[in-house]
Structure 1
């Protein structure tokens, strides 16, 4: 039974009434001590002092107008993106359009000295146009959830480039750290008027695109049959979204989630009518932003709360609700899954073959000793046995009472002791260990100081000039050790979470676990100096655990619908990012600069004091991970198979989750949230070692090599400046995530 959509006119009238009430509250309310009756008297013509005139005409009236204009622009642009991509999760903040506009503004500030609203608009247009074009180019290839993840990858790359520019220019960073919060405080009327032509043009194009978008929602063929041109419609929407989002960013900075909120309210209230939805999304965007701005002025008097943080608090739950809807859940099945891969790309033929390769014996060996299985276990086990008997039995070295050996295993006998050595995995581990060692040696040699490779190696042995020995042994070597340990912890944590959720995208940075550790460490060191921040590394696992509990509780536990973890984690990550930016704005410039470098992932100044505890933890947790690897291998296929073979899914999940959270939290304590290492390391290691086994040794080695290599690139790529390792991995990790999404072929 379908509910009838509400009539547009009563809904519009209700929204306009609420908007007028909030506009009046915005003019009458502020963080200062000007009473509302004083403002009313001034507006009615009573004479006031200079201070009252400045508060009303210079601050509050332009601020109210800016909230209306920016909210309407972001609401309409979000609705346009959702309509053209047929994706209820599409939004300029989630898809990277706001990040593109922000990058354009930063480029304008750094290279062209942009300071006015008109100059901001010009540079924001270029960045927003680039991001919007990429989103619409890849939008047709992805399901709703995949498109959001692709937008997250695009946003990470653009944000990484922005961070690289800010690290090299502290003056621009000081200006950016307040602007990026999306504040409307102090917005001059001239800036609003300078971008109004772009907003009017974008709204006009949105009105023209309403009917074609309604036809396009039925499919390209139906739209053509109705006399519309889908290509022209998409170009029109691209230009409209670019104008609206760029103008909004130029006025108030990047404000996320607003388009998602406005679109959700419009669809909920009006049903499937595209034209009225566009109008209502503009009203809803203005209503939400104006209400959040009024609340920001009174919730922390006499200070102001960041408006972007308040909207993120509202938008995060809405993102989770929309992602769990039937429309999005229907398209979530094509997310990258590790359940039963195909043979074509070096993967498996069937669950039976996978179990034989994992367990190293025929299913008939299970019958040799043990009590008869009953219930579900009997059904699962008999199915496995049937698959084992009917499958192709490859391998060598079978004997009486033994099944065939796995195809990549080599028997090694030492007297009475014999073990099966996985050939491909062993070669992969050896190669990755050599790669990590090479990355460490390169990091010791490379740098901006005038030192040859021979001099660096001599200094490592204590030979040479005192300054060179100090540089290599006291600065570079501890930093390399810290990078190796942090990368290994991230790689192993990512491998465990991917296996736990049976999804290659379910990594600590995608699930919000890393950001939970960041927030915990920042809160613990809130009242200490930036140098003392790293002494609170022990709070990282606690924050990671808290974030994991929140994500898993909201998403309903670890189950087959792994997409819930990713979307919930994305919401937690965005909310934590807004909180981090708020802390950076609250701190002084020197402290904020140091914390910002760490919050994006940096090894600068790290050494043995922070690396040693993590190394001890890694030495204890890696054997524990290897101990549960067989049960985790079995659970990669399904819960029924794991239960049938004696694995306790609940116990295994809790153990693996605890290991992954502890490893991620410890790694954050060293180098901050170095992005995409936990995603890339297990994928690369699995490509090398094959799908028969989890790369629990290869993934840490790959992560160690990636972190040290990224740190080395950051130290040498820019003359006179150091780019944090997390910025390097963000810039390179975004394309890697896009490649992973595009190359996925789920069986």
Structure 2
């Protein structure tokens, strides 16, 4: 007889499944209990000296507690509505984050990081300022419109080839959020009343929840969003297998994505209308839910809602007690937890194990033909040389012909931009008279008007633009990535927060050195946490976004603590403004440029070699670590000084090296061309801000942000070479 037949034993998989179900039930029960405890604490903590016993009496209707006007006000009108709002909004944002992560197959997807919150915020602000909207339904309608626009753009980007890369999608969301934020700033920057309402609401807070009016109006919308999220779970699970397999199972991927967008929009819009924009909550809830449930989407959605409710309620409790008698913004509390989680996700090796690999990691080590600068080729007979040899006695210089022509053209363009900026707003002075006045000739009154009142502002803009352009060129070259710029590395926001903190501590506007100190602190944190600049591809950029979020939260808190007049003027500066700037404020940057530009030119040869990989650079006698350190210190100093002049002017450091590289060619790192382009961009943006709206000045930073967001999207989603130096 042969050996007995061995039949496969199916019990171990069933045992594993049952263990998994029991673990899931245990986790759900634990989380539910935690939410109940937090709910009880939320009802018991707060102003009014009403303790847990009084709250319990009121809830149960004992000892005539509901007849007490004090308890009715504190518990019935304040604490119960606030707690229910925290639970519902937290659940809504947690569910929305889970849905976005599933539909984009991206563990970094979240309504705040992808710009959906910013779109909803823009809608609410536009409704308030343009039409005077005051009702809950009015807020919801306008928030819904802004969130629809943002959600549609996010899903469109995710559907493009390479656009769904986890880190690249987050950067695209950052570009969308920046653009929406810039447009929002255009609406409020010249209205003190609108800004006074906005500066507290934008922090995301439950302090303004009183009574059940808004909550009753928006609960049906939240309920519809939750129901749609649960109904779409099964088709969305099939979508995770790929569009072709999903179609084979009878689902329509396009329709599924539209339904998900509707659910996310309903949940996000109603949440923003209730408490303002709150970022990182969906990221936290989705990540923790996925860690508990694994790939099962329906339990993920349920747990994400539960976790979101608990996190927001707990954060609201902390917001009430950490800075008594004041109340901290709840969004800042969540950012303190969410930013480290974002960093942890980016650093985690499980990023690929979750089925959400990052195609961009391949780009951190792009093919040599993209990294290696083009070398001069043998010149065929009759063809003009690519470089000119300039000799002066025993000295000789090799000048790239294309770079020289580009430099001369940019210098001419810069002169034209200066003349145009000096002319803008002068209705009785023609271009010819303005041009003469710039150079000190012509009518004495024209010369006084232009050189005394206009050129000081222009010189400040030239200095700031040159510093930003050079800083961006240095950081992009170091990281071998065109997205590694000061604003995306958290440098600008760190410098801004440092300047505001120094102003708060000293009672006067921050000293010029505060900007470089804050910028240095920010870049040290980013490079340390991310594992080093230029070594981890897009990781350093996402860590920079987390750093920017934390620094921006600090900035908003500082502004919310100041008087309206002081906060309004500082808000204009934090948007990036040259208003009131003169020769005196430009002096530190001009001195910095006089010192740092020659140093940058000295290391330019090493920078050219550094565009190879580190081993090649080392074999050519260059120490990559030392060059990176020197150049990073140069870039940080330049960016910090620029922020001290005009605040955080965004996207100039991103665009300047990209444009300069296209003009000057690949033979050299375009240091000087980047400075010229940066100066041109800042001066022209300042001119546009002064003349585009009659009688209203738009700060230069808002102009560059509104225009720079689409530019960043183009860099991200254009040809693959567009993301590399």
- TM-score exceeds 0.5: yes
Between the two proteins, the alignment pairs up a number of residues equal to 692
Q: State the secondary structure of the residue aligned to 1:447.
A: coil
Question: Which deviates further from its counterpart, 27-36 or 174-183?
Answer: 27-36
Question: Which deviates further from its counterpart, 455-464 or 630-639?
Answer: 455-464
Q: Does 1:43 align with 2:62?
A: no
- The aligned counterpart of 1:698 is 673
2-structure distance, mates of 1:630, 1:622: 14
Q: Does 1:294 align with 2:311?
A: no
1:520-549 Cα deviation digits (max 9, x unpaired) = 1000001456xx42x512111111110011
Cα 1:720–1:410 change in 2 (3 A) is: same
1-structure distance, mates of 2:607, 2:174: 29
Q: How does 1:594-743 map to 2 (within 5 A)?
A: 594-743=569-718
Please say if residues 31 and 303 of structure 1, whose CA atoms lie closer than 8 Å, have aligned partners that are also in contact: no
Please say if residues 448 and 715 of structure 1, whose CA atoms lie closer than 8 Å, have aligned partners that are also in contact: no
Structure 1 residue 324 displacement after superposition: 2.4
Q: Does 1:167 align with 2:164?
A: no
Q: State the secondary structure of the residue aligned to 1:168.
A: coil
- The aligned counterpart of 1:153 is 175
- The aligned counterpart of 2:3 is none
Please say if residues 258 and 315 of structure 1, whose CA atoms lie closer than 8 Å, have aligned partners that are also in contact: yes
1:644-673 Cα deviation digits (max 9, x unpaired) = 000011111111111011001111000111
Q: State the secondary structure of the residue aligned to 2:504.
A: coil
Q: Which residue, out of 485, 490, 494, partners 1:512? A: 490
> What TM-score do you get using the length of structure 2 for normalisation?
0.92
- The aligned counterpart of 1:481 is 459
Please say if residues 144 and 328 of structure 1, whose CA atoms lie closer than 8 Å, have aligned partners that are also in contact: no
- The aligned counterpart of 1:251 is 274
- The aligned counterpart of 1:217 is 240
- The aligned counterpart of 1:55 is 74
Please say if residues 364 and 538 of structure 2, whose CA atoms lie closer than 8 Å, have aligned partners that are also in contact: no
Q: State the secondary structure of the residue aligned to 2:298.
A: helix
Cα 1:416–1:473 change in 2 (3 A) is: closer
1:119-149 Cα deviation digits (max 9, x unpaired) = 1001100000010001111112211111111
Q: Which residue, out of 396, 402, 410, partners 1:432? A: 410
- The aligned counterpart of 2:420 is 442
Gapped regions of structure 1 (runs ≥ 5) = 358-392, 398-404
1-structure distance, mates of 2:380, 2:593: 36
Q: Does 1:276 align with 2:260?
A: no
- The aligned counterpart of 2:9 is none
1:259-311 Cα deviation digits (max 9, x unpaired) = 00000010011111011101111111111000000010011111111100010
1-structure distance, mates of 2:191, 2:51: 41
Question: Which deviates further from its counterpart, 323-332 or 68-77?
Answer: 323-332
Q: State the secondary structure of the residue aligned to 1:525.
A: helix
Please say if residues 603 and 627 of structure 2, whose CA atoms lie closer than 8 Å, have aligned partners that are also in contact: yes
2-structure distance, mates of 1:10, 1:125: 37
Q: How does 1:71-220 map to 2 (within 5 A)?
A: 71-141=90-160, 142=163, 143-188=165-210, 189-220=212-243
2-structure distance, mates of 1:546, 1:225: 53
Please say if residues 375 and 667 of structure 2, whose CA atoms lie closer than 8 Å, have aligned partners that are also in contact: no
Question: Which deviates further from its counterpart, 730-739 or 6-15?
Answer: 6-15
Q: State the secondary structure of the residue aligned to 1:421.
A: strand
Structure 1 residue 332 displacement after superposition: 4.8
1-structure distance, mates of 2:666, 2:120: 41
Please say if residues 530 and 536 of structure 2, whose CA atoms lie closer than 8 Å, have aligned partners that are also in contact: no
Q: Which residue, out of 15, 40, 46, partners 1:24? A: 40
Please say if residues 117 and 194 of structure 1, whose CA atoms lie closer than 8 Å, have aligned partners that are also in contact: yes
2-structure distance, mates of 1:168, 1:213: 45
- The aligned counterpart of 2:398 is 420
2-structure distance, mates of 1:46, 1:216: 56
- The aligned counterpart of 2:4 is none
Q: State the secondary structure of the residue aligned to 2:720.
A: coil
1-structure distance, mates of 2:380, 2:491: 44
Please say if residues 234 and 298 of structure 2, whose CA atoms lie closer than 8 Å, have aligned partners that are also in contact: yes
- The aligned counterpart of 2:337 is 314
Question: Which deviates further from its counterpart, 721-730 or 28-37?
Answer: 28-37
Q: State the secondary structure of the residue aligned to 2:518.
A: helix
1:422-470 Cα deviation digits (max 9, x unpaired) = 101111111111122211111100127554334544654375585x655
Please say if residues 642 and 648 of structure 1, whose CA atoms lie closer than 8 Å, have aligned partners that are also in contact: yes
1:618-639 Cα deviation digits (max 9, x unpaired) = 0110110011111111111100
Cα 1:509–1:47 change in 2 (3 A) is: same
> What TM-score do you get using the length of structure 1 for normalisation?
0.89
Q: State the secondary structure of the residue aligned to 1:410.
A: strand
Q: State the secondary structure of the residue aligned to 1:526.
A: helix
- The aligned counterpart of 1:305 is 328
2-structure distance, mates of 1:457, 1:409: 34
- The aligned counterpart of 1:378 is none
Q: How does 1:186-585 map to 2 (within 5 A)?
A: 186-188=208-210, 189-326=212-349, 328=351, 330-333=357-360, 342=369, 351=372, 354=373, 356-357=375-376, 393-395=377-379, 408-447=386-425, 451-457=429-435, 459-460=437-438, 461=440, 464=443, 466=445, 471-527=449-505, 532-533=508-509, 536-585=511-560
- The aligned counterpart of 1:367 is none
Cα 1:112–1:341 change in 2 (3 A) is: farther
- The aligned counterpart of 1:363 is none
1:564-585 Cα deviation digits (max 9, x unpaired) = 2101100000111122111111
1:359-409 Cα deviation digits (max 9, x unpaired) = xxxxxxxxxxxxxxxxxxxxxxxxxxxxxxxxxx52379xxxxxxx99621
Please say if residues 425 and 688 of structure 1, whose CA atoms lie closer than 8 Å, have aligned partners that are also in contact: yes
Cα 1:123–1:470 change in 2 (3 A) is: farther
Cα 1:293–1:242 change in 2 (3 A) is: same
1:300-332 Cα deviation digits (max 9, x unpaired) = 111111100010111101111112234646425
Please say if residues 154 and 173 of structure 2, whose CA atoms lie closer than 8 Å, have aligned partners that are also in contact: yes
Please say if residues 336 and 505 of structure 1, whose CA atoms lie closer than 8 Å, have aligned partners that are also in contact: no
2-structure distance, mates of 1:528, 1:462: 43
Cα 1:207–1:339 change in 2 (3 A) is: closer
Please say if residues 436 and 704 of structure 1, whose CA atoms lie closer than 8 Å, have aligned partners that are also in contact: yes
Please say if residues 488 and 545 of structure 2, whose CA atoms lie closer than 8 Å, have aligned partners that are also in contact: yes
Q: State the secondary structure of the residue aligned to 2:389.
A: strand
- The aligned counterpart of 1:389 is none
- The aligned counterpart of 1:12 is 28
Cα 1:710–1:109 change in 2 (3 A) is: same
Cα 1:129–1:501 change in 2 (3 A) is: same
2-structure distance, mates of 1:172, 1:677: 28
2-structure distance, mates of 1:429, 1:339: 29
CA RMSD in angstroms, aligned pairs only: 2.2
Q: State the secondary structure of the residue aligned to 1:738.
A: helix
1-structure distance, mates of 2:443, 2:37: 75
Cα 1:88–1:586 change in 2 (3 A) is: same
Structure 1 residue 50 displacement after superposition: 2.6
Please say if residues 101 and 126 of structure 1, whose CA atoms lie closer than 8 Å, have aligned partners that are also in contact: yes
